[in-house]
Every structure is written in structure tokens, then in C-alpha cells.
Amino acid sequence: MVVVKGSVSINRGELERTMPITGSPLKKETDAFTKSVSINNKEMDNQPLNLDNHSVETIQKLGIFYPTSPEHKAAVRLQKVYKSYRTRRILADCAVLVDQSWWELLDFAELKWISISFFDIKKHQAAISRWSRGKKKAGRVGKGLSSDDSAQKLTDKHWLEAIDPRHRYGHNLQFYYERWLDAKCRQPFFYWLDVGEGKEVNLEACPRSKFQKQCIKYLGPTERKAYEVVIEQGKLLYKMTGELVHTTEDAKSIFVLDTSKTLYVGKKKKGTFQHSSFLAGGVTTAAGRLIVETGILKAVWPHSGHYWPTEEKFQDFLSFLRENNVDLTDVETSALDEEDRMLCKRRSIDCLRSNPLDQNH
């Protein structure tokens, strides 16, 4: 909600108003505006029209204001001020939009163009056009690779989440993606899913109601600052507020380290806020879970379903902590809860299946 308070002056004082801008319907806005407008009639031109008495009486009975009447001029001024208010409201909304979420609109527009809007099944697409769209999608997942060639991208099944204009949870998208593959449809996946032949598909494994509701929050540059953590004298604290990081038992706390060695920490909310949220689907140097008590690191381990951090990257992260004077002597570096242990084990099995030659080493 945008709230703007101000005073509009017409002709140096003829009209004054103080108008709160809320998101209310037009009728409520008009009523509120009408009540707050004070009209000064001192400078109004009251010259009458050359009408006979019968005409004037007829006009008054019909409730019609003739152009030079005070009532007519008041109505005209009211209308002008209201139009001015509407313009100012739009400008105020735009200012907030530019400051807070301009990147989201641009991002959404580009992703929608490359995923849905650009598709026309009746129109032949040149190879260069298809490559262009593919490059843009791949670029979304590989953001930050130029800073570190060894950085970790999202896992394959979560690519869909990053290139989805709505950023629906990648795990859920996978169910519909497999159905799309089975359908052998000519329509691109997101077109098929949202407006094409698959828009009515409702899977038992992931009902549409759940599927549409679980959208991952991708942070923009401004929002991301609230999660940035620095290390001072071996303790973790939020850079923006100076508050010591303190995790709680009732919520899982997650972290990522970007390619510029900037650390971000936040609470995980399944289907809403996950590792991919911090860098908007971009690459990471490290990712996982941690436990911190009043700034002191108690446990950290490399668990992330979105990035599947390697042991090598985890060791690099521990080196980063040591370089910043974090005492790791009593820090636990393995999963502390059963769910994470099972997921880590499953990840190891999946890695062996995808790299069968590694089993011999």
C-alpha cells in the first residue's frame, strides 16, 4: 500500500486538500476526496447569463448548472483537482515501483516473452530466434558465472523454477514437466502449462491449487540487503541492522555465499523462501544450513536441494569462515536432523547413479 499525504494548491489558494492515497476503489476515493476539498468562492466570476426568468426557473428545477454559476465552476474545479490527484497518485506509485521492484517487472516481462508471449504455433520460428530465447533462459540460471567459473548453478530440476515467470517451486514444476514430456506436445512447456493444451491438467501428486500457490520469492538488489551478513570478531551479524544472527529451533536457517564472497542468511519457508531466493536463481559459491546462537556459529552443513553443494565447495566455505576469524573448534559440520541426513544420503545415491564410473574409485 502506498500512502502519500500532501496539499494541492490551485491558483495560489483557491482549492486546498489533504488527500490520503490508499488502494481503495474509485467510489471511496471520490467520496473521501469530495469531503476533503474546500472551495474558496471569493474569486469566482458570478456574472449571470442573459436568460429570461422562465428559462432560469426551468434550469434550476432540472438541477442543471449554467456555465457561470458558482456550482458549475465548483464542479469543474473539483474535477480538475481530482484528475490532478489521480496523476499524482500514479506518479507516486511509479516512484515506489522504481525504488523497490523495477527489476521484478523487467525480469517478469523478459521471462514471459521468452516463455509464453513469443510463442505462435502457426508462425515459423527461425533458428536464430530459438537460440536467442534459449540463451536468455540459460543466462538466467548462470547469473554470476563470469565471476567464478566453478560456481554452482541450480540443479537441473530447479532450472524450470528460475525461468518460470512466476518462479513456481521447482519440485512441483517437475511433475508437470514430466507430464508435458509424455504428451509429446509441440507447444513449449510454459505455454502448454498456462494457456495451451495443458492448462486444465491437474495432477494428484501435485494439485493445481498447491502448485499455483507455492511460488518462490526471488529477492531483488534492495531486498537482498536485509539478509546480508558480515563477520566481526568471529561473530555473525546482519550488516543493515548490526543485530547478531540468532537462529531458532522452530525454523530452519539457510545461507548462501555468492561469487563476491558476500554471505546471506535467512529462514527457510518451504515453497516460498529457499536457497534460490537470495540470489534470484543465480549461482553460488556455497550453500547450506546453519545454527547460530547470538552471533556464534554452532553448526553448519552443506545441504541445499536447489544447489547440491559439493564437499569441495563446503571446505572452501569453511576456509572462508576461518579467514574471517570464526572459531570452528566446536562447530558441528554434519546434518543435525533426520530429514537433512536422509536428504544428504539420497543426494549421494543420485550422484552415484548419474556418475556410475565413480563407483569404482
Q: Is the pLDDT of residue 307 over 80?
A: yes
- Does 348 lie in the same domain as 233? yes
- Does 164 lie in the same domain as 127? yes
Lowest-confidence region among 85-94, 185-194, 207-216, 298-307:
85-94
Q: Is residue 5 part of a domain?
A: no
Domain closes at, from 100, 135, 157: 100
268 versus 109: the higher-pLDDT residue is 268
Domain that holds residue 131: 108-213
Q: Residue 151 in contact with residue 284, Cβ under 8 Å?
A: yes
Q: What is the pLDDT of residues 323-333, one digit of tens each?
A: 999 999 999 99
Which residue has cell 518462490?
Answer: 216
Domain closes at, from 47, 69, 100: 100
Which of 18-22, 64-68, 85-89, 219-223 holds the top average pLDDT? 219-223
Q: What is the pLDDT of residues 124-141, one digit of tens each?
A: 455 444 444 444 554 445
Q: Is residue 126 part of a domain?
A: yes
- 121 contacts: CB under 8 Å, gap ≥ 6: 186, 187
- Does 78 lie in the same domain as 20? yes
236 versus 32: the higher-pLDDT residue is 236
Q: Is the pLDDT of residue 81 over 60?
A: yes
**pLDDT for the residue 70:** 72
- Does 334 lie in the same domain as 229? yes
- Does 283 lie in the same domain as 206? no
Q: Residue 306 in contact with residue 276, Cβ under 8 Å?
A: yes
- Does 90 lie in the same domain as 138? no
Q: Is residue 10 part of a domain?
A: no
Give the DSSP letter of residue 113: I
Which of 71-85, 138-152, 290-304, 343-357 holds the top average pLDDT? 290-304
What is 225-259 written as a DSSP string?
A: GGGEEEEETTEEEETTT-PBP---TTS-EEEEE-T
Q: Is 47 helix (H, G, I), strand (E, B) or coil?
A: coil
Single-letter code of the amino acid located at 15: L
Q: Is the pLDDT of residue 46 over 50?
A: no
How far is the C-alpha of 274 from the C-alpha of 216, rounded, in Å?
7
What confidence category does residue 359 fall into, taking pLDDT thresholds of 50, 70 and 90?
Answer: very low
Q: Is residue 290 part of a domain?
A: yes
- Does 301 lie in the same domain as 275? yes
How far is the C-alpha of 171 from the C-alpha of 271, rounded, in Å?
9
Summary mean pLDDT of the chain: 72
How far is the C-alpha of 99 from the C-alpha of 95, rounded, in Å?
6
- Does 123 lie in the same domain as 159? yes
- Does 195 lie in the same domain as 115? yes
Share of the chain above pLDDT 70, in %: 52
**pLDDT for the residue 317:** 96
- Does 151 lie in the same domain as 130? yes
137 versus 234: the higher-pLDDT residue is 234
Q: Is residue 292 part of a domain?
A: yes
Domain count, the chain: 3
- Does 209 lie in the same domain as 225? no
Q: Is the pLDDT of residue 112 over 80?
A: no
Q: Is residue 4 part of a domain?
A: no
Domain closes at, from 67, 100, 133: 100
**pLDDT for the residue 202:** 97
> Region 235-254: what's the mean pLDDT?
95
Q: Is residue 7 part of a domain?
A: no
Which of 85-99, 173-187, 224-238 holds the top average pLDDT? 224-238
Q: Residue 341 in contact with residue 349, Cβ under 8 Å?
A: no
Q: Is residue 1 part of a domain?
A: no
Q: What is the pLDDT of residues 158-179, one digit of tens each?
A: 888 988 989 999 999 999 999 9
Q: Residue 255 in contact with residue 268, Cβ under 8 Å?
A: no
Lowest-confidence region among 119-133, 217-231, 257-271:
119-133
> Region 90-102: what's the mean pLDDT?
48
- Does 205 lie in the same domain as 242? no
